[in-house]
Structure 1
Amino acid sequence: MASSFSESWLRADPRALEFLPDRFRHPAARAEAVAAAAARSLSPALHEALVARNARLAPSPARERNLELLARPGTAAVVTGQQVGLFLGPLFTVYKAASAIAVARQLTQETGTPCVPVFWLQTEDHDLPEIDHCFIPRTAGEPLRVSLEFQDAATSRVPVAHRRLGESVTRALDAVRNELKGHPQASEHLELLERAYRPDATMAEAFAEVLSALFADEGLVFLDPRDPRLAPLAAPIHRRAIEEAAAIAGRLSERGTALANAGFSEQVHIRPGAPLGFFSPEGIEGARYRLDPSAPGTWSLVGHPEGASVTTTELLTWLDREPLRFTTSALLRPILQDTWLPTAAYIGGPGEIAYFAQLAPLYEHVGIPMPLTVPRARFRVLDDRTRALLDKLGLAPDDTLMPRDELLTRLAARNTEDGFEPPEAIEARLLGAFSAELTRLGERMAALDPGFAQAISRTDETVRGGVSRLVAKYGRALAQRDQVTLERVDRLRAYLVPNGAPQERIYGLPYYACRFGSRAFTRLVLDTCVPFSGKLEDLRP
């Protein structure tokens, strides 16, 4: 089984560092990355498009200053980005934005070079089921899933930039309001959501409006790659991806083989000879399809209902005429990003870190420097309700990471005043006598039959497994006696590890913003953010 690249990389595993050096840990390497980025300038056309796009957001003097800085030679960018999920999607969207701001500040202080935080709105993707919902924790029961109602969500191939929210967003807002209206700061945050998430707004417009309001004081700058003004600037990248597809895919495939040989898997699968982009044959707001080589000079549109294909000549003609028909894949997007921006550092989550491990050959091929890869901040919110449950159960936050049955057994072992022995005492007594007798038998049989040791080992393993299962069942039975404890454990796990996943990957911002205030919560995240750490930190609002 392949190892997690991001986990190995964060542990500074030498196998992982061969593919992605941890330059972010070293001040000298950070300074080099900033200097290299600052030596490249933003094109006037890109700057003009950024100013126009950001002018549509709520006024922010800090953002205006950062846009002015980007126009000046000698400025670097710290970039992060995320798909434009409903109500900002999972909490880690906010954590990414805060990380970019904190890292930009730190690099500015370390180097004296102005570094501007930029949020890349990932609007080229078409995977609606990943972004059309938001989860809200509840004091009891399953989390509330609030979602939009796109009938074609599972099959749509249209970039999300062109999806308007529609009337179902009103019902989604009603569900959020009904669930959270009783919280102290609900009015402030719900009004922000309702201003942004209008039926006629696009997913990207609403997302950017809310996130920009949260980080207006920090001057977070927003870039939307589907901005028509940027399409001509993307065309040269798409042209190279098409014309040099075989060479690029070959180098990336070699990288994938090397990763596999080191015990890692490719985050993004490489199709032989395929360019790293999508094409929309019906128009800029139409479905997009991957390109796979078929006959020489011809590309099949993967997933097209009629099995359509297109020639290289046709692709390049469309690229000249209507470049917005072309969109990037996960591996081509960083190249577009770092061609456009003077990127010193990219802030990424585990998946992005893994695909940056694949990217060095592509950066080399196109001849641009690879920025620092920096892990985003990771947080766990321990609010007053969660802390109360931890205190009542006598648990530490990390205890919730163990399997539910194991946690219940551990708690049951503390409550044995009814004459029931703790599970570990039962296990020790059952195995103690057995192990002693088995050892004695093995010693007596060693000279008589050397192969008998294997039978001893198998028997020991079988019995230990059986006893372990029996004791676990015993512990669960003890735990089930205490319904109050059982309910508290389930509520605690629902807050911190919903469905066994990290809180930050499931729950959205609305619950926490309505309880503690949009800006107060954002401020807490910023104040707790430790640049270049990557460690899990606890937030205690």
Structure 2
Amino acid sequence: MPSDCISYQNSGYFSKLIIDYLNQKPELQSLYHRFPKIENFLPQIEEKTKNFSQENRQILVDSLFEQNKNFVLSEKSLENIELLKESTTFTITTGHQLNLFTGPLYFLYKIVSTINLSKELKVKYPTYDFVPVYWMATEDHDFEEINHFTFKNKKIKWDTSSKGPVGRLSTQGLDEVYEQFAKELGIGDNANYLKELFRKAYLEHDNLTEATRFLANELFKEEGLIIVDGDDLSLKKLFAPYVQKELVEQTSFQNVSESNKKLNEYDIQVNPREINLFYIEDNLRERIVYEKGKYIVNNTKIEFSKNEILTELKNHPEKFSPNVILRPLYQEIILPNLCYIGGGGEIAYWLQLKSNFESNNITFPILLLRNSVLLAFTKQVSKIDKLHLNWSDLFLKQQDLINKKAKELSNYNIDFTLQKEFLKQQFSTLNKIAQQTDKSFLGAVKAQEAKQIKGLENLEKRLLKAEKRVLADQLERITNIQNELFPNGGLQERKQNFSEFYIESGDELISKLLSELNPLDQNFSTLIV
């Protein structure tokens, strides 16, 4: 089995911004509060303690019990909810969309990272308690992103439509998806477990929020995971003063725009709007815009004067939903949170938000890139060994991998670097002679040097091409195993569903992730399942 590892920075799968963040580039340090090192959590605890009220704790606990009243929680989860009443308890949070049957694999990695960091912090700081939280993105509306998952290269899709917050969407019609998935799963104990898990989650619950809550709870309840739905009246009341500030002062637009100027060498993840709020009902989620002295709900006939919208906020705070700019602020207002764990895209937009937190006097959390994992079956690892591949080889772009292995497997030295260096040395002598004669001769020497080097490069390419034909069978086996592990040339964790691996490994899949992933490590994990 290959024993090498590859860092996130060298994997080729993260943006320049994330690489620079992981490398703690000085130019970025004003955009985050504390870097995710174990020693930085104590000052984060001390700051959050001063900035989170006991009243908010009690409202949060009451809300969590209400949200879970129809669910059977483990003793560990119930204990963790009770612990949130204490001023010495803090959360470690990740968030994710309500993807059908969890969507891509990284849903698991986010939550495992959150659970494992909570455990690691408890060991380091035993006088405090740390609760892992999964924040469900129940108020999102991009249904096309979440209405499917991939199982063994087949897309399992829920064909329906959604106009409002996805969490309120009825689960009607998912019986057809269940039948399709059950057929693909086949027979066996693990297949039967997955069928039952899907059936109970989606056919025994009325909406997508409750279905997702059941699913995440079943997968992780013994780890004490707490699942939070922000689409909640009690929690929205805590957020209402900040909603009012956004409506009246519109400061987040200015704050985030200023932060974006510091990121001008990077791709900006999100752009702020003048008002970063939606107005929501069961079948409605539209932006609030301010035009000609009126607050207008986009694409509707709904409009308010200033007094009217503030009255609406007072009477119905649940109808005001934060967009991607304000959702993190909402989360940190209602949770005694220390750290947010997310993927590269999420960390990128969080790096735009610190100034807006400061403007609202809310502690900015530590930002941690979630664990990334490459899962391989035993048979695949055996093939990798026989092909003399390292894990780092498999992360190469396929053409680079083919070229590298062709050169390694060839009986000839396909690298003409020595020949090119020798040629340059010869021309160096000619250049010295040419500099003492006519300038036209110097130009002729340089042109001939370029021509000779180019000729060697062409010969190198032709030899490599010829060797690829000779080694075609071996190179095909190499590309086949890479294609298995990196579907469509992308990361497995962004394509495949956990069920594909659960079929083979059962409960060991999640237990291995929990036992082997280190949330503060900056290397890709490779696990045999």
TM-score scaled by structure 1? 0.85
- SS at the partner of 1:288? strand
**Residue 446, structure 1, aligned to residue 448, structure 2:** no
How far 1:176 sits from its partner (Å)? 3.5
The residue that corresponds to 2:3 in the other structure is: none
Q: 1:211 to 1:278 in 2, by over 3 A?
A: same
From 92, 102, 109, the counterpart of 1:78: 92
From 250, 256, 259, the counterpart of 1:252: 256
Q: 1:238 to 1:178 in 2, by over 3 A?
A: same
Q: 1:145 to 1:129 in 2, by over 3 A?
A: same
The residue that corresponds to 1:62 in the other structure is: 76
How far 1:389 sits from its partner (Å)? 2.4
Q: Which amino acid aligns with 2:44?
A: A
From 140, 144, 159, the counterpart of 1:149: 159
**Residue 33, structure 1, aligned to residue 44, structure 2:** yes
Where structure 2 has 5 or more consecutive residues not aligned to the other structure, the ranges are 1-13
How far 1:434 sits from its partner (Å)? 5.8
The residue that corresponds to 1:540 in the other structure is: 528
- SS at the partner of 1:275? coil
Q: 1:307 to 1:68 in 2, by over 3 A?
A: closer
Q: 1:449 to 1:228 in 2, by over 3 A?
A: farther
How far 1:96 sits from its partner (Å)? 1.0
In 2, the alpha carbon distance for the partners of 1:344 and 1:160 equals 28
Are the counterparts in 2 of residues 23 and 30 from structure 1 also a CA contact under 8 Å?
A: no
| Superposition map of 1:466-505 within 5 A | 471-472=460-461, 475=464, 478-479=467-468, 484-505=473-494
Q: 1:470 to 1:523 in 2, by over 3 A?
A: farther
In 1, the alpha carbon distance for the partners of 2:45 and 2:454 equals 55
Summarize deviations over 1:393-418 as a string: whole Å, max 9, x none.
Answer: 2111211122212222333345446x
- SS at the partner of 1:507? coil
How far 1:57 sits from its partner (Å)? 3.1
In 2, the alpha carbon distance for the partners of 1:104 and 1:258 equals 32
The residue that corresponds to 1:14 in the other structure is: 26
In 2, the alpha carbon distance for the partners of 1:397 and 1:94 equals 22
| Superposition map of 1:151-166 within 5 A | 152=161, 157-166=163-172
Summarize deviations over 1:39-69 as a string: whole Å, max 9, x none.
Answer: 5333433321211222333431110000111
Q: 1:15 to 1:192 in 2, by over 3 A?
A: same
The residue that corresponds to 1:389 in the other structure is: 383
- SS at the partner of 1:316? helix
Are the counterparts in 2 of residues 36 and 344 from structure 1 also a CA contact under 8 Å?
A: no
Q: 1:185 to 1:456 in 2, by over 3 A?
A: farther
In 2, the alpha carbon distance for the partners of 1:515 and 1:458 equals 62
- SS at the partner of 1:217? helix
- SS at the partner of 2:368? strand
Aligned-pair RMSD on alpha carbons?
3.1
Are the counterparts in 1 of residues 338 and 366 from structure 2 also a CA contact under 8 Å?
A: yes
How far 1:228 sits from its partner (Å)? 4.1
From 116, 121, 128, the counterpart of 1:113: 128
**Residue 216, structure 1, aligned to residue 212, structure 2:** no
The residue that corresponds to 1:134 in the other structure is: 149
- SS at the partner of 1:259? coil
Q: 1:437 to 1:360 in 2, by over 3 A?
A: same
**Residue 195, structure 1, aligned to residue 200, structure 2:** yes
Are the counterparts in 1 of residues 235 and 334 from structure 2 also a CA contact under 8 Å?
A: no
Are the counterparts in 2 of residues 408 and 476 from structure 1 also a CA contact under 8 Å?
A: no
Are the counterparts in 2 of residues 123 and 226 from structure 1 also a CA contact under 8 Å?
A: yes
Q: 1:228 to 1:389 in 2, by over 3 A?
A: farther
| Superposition map of 1:292-311 within 5 A | 292-295=289-292, 297-299=293-295, 301=297, 304=299, 311=305
**Residue 288, structure 1, aligned to residue 298, structure 2:** no
The residue that corresponds to 2:210 in the other structure is: 205
- Identity between Structure 1 and Structure 2 (%): 25
Q: Which amino acid aligns with 1:72?
A: E
Are the counterparts in 1 of residues 406 and 475 from structure 2 also a CA contact under 8 Å?
A: no
The residue that corresponds to 1:267 in the other structure is: 269
How far 1:440 sits from its partner (Å)? 5.1
- SS at the partner of 2:32? coil
- SS at the partner of 2:238? helix
Summarize deviations over 1:167-211 as a string: whole Å, max 9, x none.
Answer: 2x3443344334443566322233212221228643332222122
In 2, the alpha carbon distance for the partners of 1:125 and 1:290 equals 12
Are the counterparts in 1 of residues 423 and 453 from structure 2 also a CA contact under 8 Å?
A: no
Q: Which amino acid aligns with 1:286?
A: N
**Residue 403, structure 1, aligned to residue 408, structure 2:** no
Are the counterparts in 2 of residues 183 and 515 from structure 1 also a CA contact under 8 Å?
A: no
Q: 1:240 to 1:445 in 2, by over 3 A?
A: same
In 1, the alpha carbon distance for the partners of 2:248 and 2:420 equals 68
**Residue 522, structure 1, aligned to residue 510, structure 2:** yes
Aligned residues, how many?
512
Are the counterparts in 1 of residues 33 and 364 from structure 2 also a CA contact under 8 Å?
A: no
In 2, the alpha carbon distance for the partners of 1:455 and 1:38 equals 75
How far 1:336 sits from its partner (Å)? 0.7
The residue that corresponds to 2:181 in the other structure is: 176
In 1, the alpha carbon distance for the partners of 2:269 and 2:381 equals 37
How far 1:355 sits from its partner (Å)? 1.8
Are the counterparts in 1 of residues 205 and 211 from structure 2 also a CA contact under 8 Å?
A: no
Q: Which amino acid aligns with 1:34?
A: I
| Superposition map of 1:309-328 within 5 A | 311-328=305-322
TM-score scaled by structure 2? 0.87
Are the counterparts in 2 of residues 37 and 77 from structure 1 also a CA contact under 8 Å?
A: no
Between 157-166 and 503-512, the greater mean CA deviation after superposition: 157-166
